[in-house]
Amino acid sequence: GENVEQHPSTLSVQEGDSAVIKCTYSDSASNYFPWYKQELGKGPQLIIDIRSNVGEKKDQRIAVTLNKTAKHFSLHITETQPEDSAVYFCAAAINTGTASKLTFGTGTRLQVML
Amino acid sequence: GAVVSQHPSRVICKSGTSVKIECRSLDFQATTMFWYRQFPKQSLMLMATSNEGSKATYEQGVEKDKFLINHASLTLSTLTVTSAHPEDSSFYICSASHRGQGVNEQFFGPGTRLTVL
């Protein structure tokens, strides 16, 4: 089955700096890669996703890149703000047109310091 | 749009009792719902996949007789933890999926914290 690794497990940055979180996946058939933000005591929220037919996607301060050959994808957050502090999870799935299972990474706890 | 609710948000029960958790898609029809369990400082682990009107598919190691899942309608799925024990204490999260632009994204509920005394 799919295996997703995520690094780093914790990340501290100064407000205004950039944060990068990296994930690798094992199943070359995976074609959908969402990123979730989870605040304490809450469910995960989708913040951005990318499909295997594109290499990069950007939404304001958040961007995701995908390297299918190397089987890794990364989340980039620019101009970090204190409210970006949370746990971030990457995930991978094989989308075949019907609902598909997500395999999650182990999570990255991001702390943005004032 | 794409809002998923869970009820209750937290529950405390005695060992040996059963607890039911509801998951509802509020503004869309969810053909598939997923149930996850998350222990403190860990990732989400899929427990089962539930399709409306059919039996749930459980992940390896998850006891189907202990974690009963019912998906009777396109907007409601329930998870019942039977004969709960302290080791079942966890954060239970559901997600719902609907067809959108050919890709089935999952929208997550806010979670239910179960504490078994």
**Each residue's pLDDT tens digit, A21-45:** 999 999 999 999 999 999 999 999 9
Judge contact between A44 and B45, C-beta under 8 A: no
Q: Nearest Cβ partner of B46 from A101, A105, A106?
A: A101
Asked if B104 has any chain A CB less than 8 Å from its own CB, the reply is: yes
Instruction: For residues B27 and B15, give the distance between their C-alpha atoms in angstroms, rounded to a whole number.
Output: 36
Q: Mutate which of B103, B107, B114 to test chain A, going by most A C-beta atoms within 10 A? A: B103
Structure token pair of residue B24: 């509802």
- The verdict on a CB contact (< 8 Å) between A98 and B103 is no
State CA B19 to chain mean position distance. Answer: 12
**Each residue's pLDDT tens digit, B97-112:** 876 545 668 899 999 9
Instruction: For residues B43 and A49, give the distance between their C-alpha atoms in angstroms, rounded to a whole number.
Output: 18
Could you report the average pLDDT of every consecutive run of 10 residues in chain B (117 residues)?
A: 92 97 92 94 93 88 94 92 97 86 78 97
